[in-house]
Structure 1
Amino acid sequence: MARPKNERLKARIRTAAWRLFATDGYEATSYTAIASAVGISRNLVQYHFPKKDVLAAQLFEDCLSRTCQVLGLTDDGLRNNLEAIYAVGSVYFTYLESEEGLGAFLLDVLKSRELTRASCAFNTRWILGHVADAQGSLTFDEGGKTVRALVGHMGGFYELLYFELDRGGTLDAAEALSPVMKALATALGYPMSQVYALTPRNALADVPIQSAVRKLQEAYASI
């Protein structure tokens, strides 16, 4: 069992790293900078986090969890609820690419094939952890059509996201995620009426996206 003192120190390291990711981006955030922000040695940071990408992965995970919280969604509320999953993704990516969010960090991640692949895999696992096919079977077959359809469309979404961020723009996450959600629903065997309904106008009309994004900005500004 990890000692409480070590857990507190790891939490301080995570917080310092996430703040630096937000202000300086992933590449410019060195172990030395993290250590200086915490007031410990560089070696101690590396002892607890041998790989910097672990800190990045934990930030994505934390942000996704907070997104669900600000939308008032639990795992039960997300189970087989494609509209709710769509809402989470729209808020999550809108926050990440916002100027007050993690735009510089996200762009650095998207410039790295390895980090992009890891992020795409994380998002895919999260989505498939909450959905089943039309027959009620959970979809964890990594070689199955559902995974292939989702990964393929998520890859296209990430390409669009990189294109916009790299040119200094922003992507309409809700609009860009619509084809991803439709491909997922189709692969799962959902009725075409539900597939066609997965658009911002139909599925997200009552979702307070901008309000939720502001809550995330406030939450991360105070860490």
Structure 2
Amino acid sequence: MDKKKNISMAVIKRLPKYHRYLRELMENDIDRISSKELSEKIGFTASQIRQDLNNFGDFGQQGYGYNVKELYNEISAILGLTKIYKTVIIGAGNIGQAIANYTYFDKVGFSVQGMFDINPKIIGLKINDVEVLDIDFLDDFLRKDNIDIGIICVPKNSAQKVCDMLIRNKVKGIWNFAPVDLQIPEDAQIVVENVHLSESLLTLSCLMNDDIN
């Protein structure tokens, strides 16, 4: 959606939270909800919710609120969840296995096609019915299977090499769990989302630090 290019990153990062809460409302058989009621559940102000959603269209009705299912479907479409993403996980250690075993991803369209590792003790194992293959086969696998997303769960000294391979094989997105900032060529047609677990933990530590509170 080209329109997303004009939407702030702050708004985009709030969309998954809307999606999660709306899914919970549907599971509890709630058909409609006002921005005020949604505000009380989600923690954003009612004004913020209306502003966020108005970026994508006119979803609510005055005096009625939002149709939960319709809004959920609209946000699913905005998030790109109306298609299947063919995904590979590179690095089948603890983080890679945890991602492979998280069945929610498959439910929303992120289908793990393969897992790869360098460790002979892991190669050949099946994680959630996906066999771990030798990383030497990754290049051919990417070339033949038109993979959309590569999930990097390797040590930082191997991450850039994996990243370069993903870019070379026209993967559209990288979800990076390696504790390193990847170098992406300016002309690369790829989106990268970094998940630095250590930085998140240190942020928590800072917020708990009495010296700054």
- Flag whether TM exceeds 0.5 (same fold): no
Shorter-chain TM-score tier: under 0.3
Q: Looking at both structures, which has the greater relative contact order when contacts are Cα pairs under 8 Å and sequence separation is at least 6?
A: 1
> Which is helix-richer, 1 or 2?
1
> Which is strand-richer, 1 or 2?
2
TM-score using structure 2 length: 0.26
TM-score using structure 1 length: 0.25
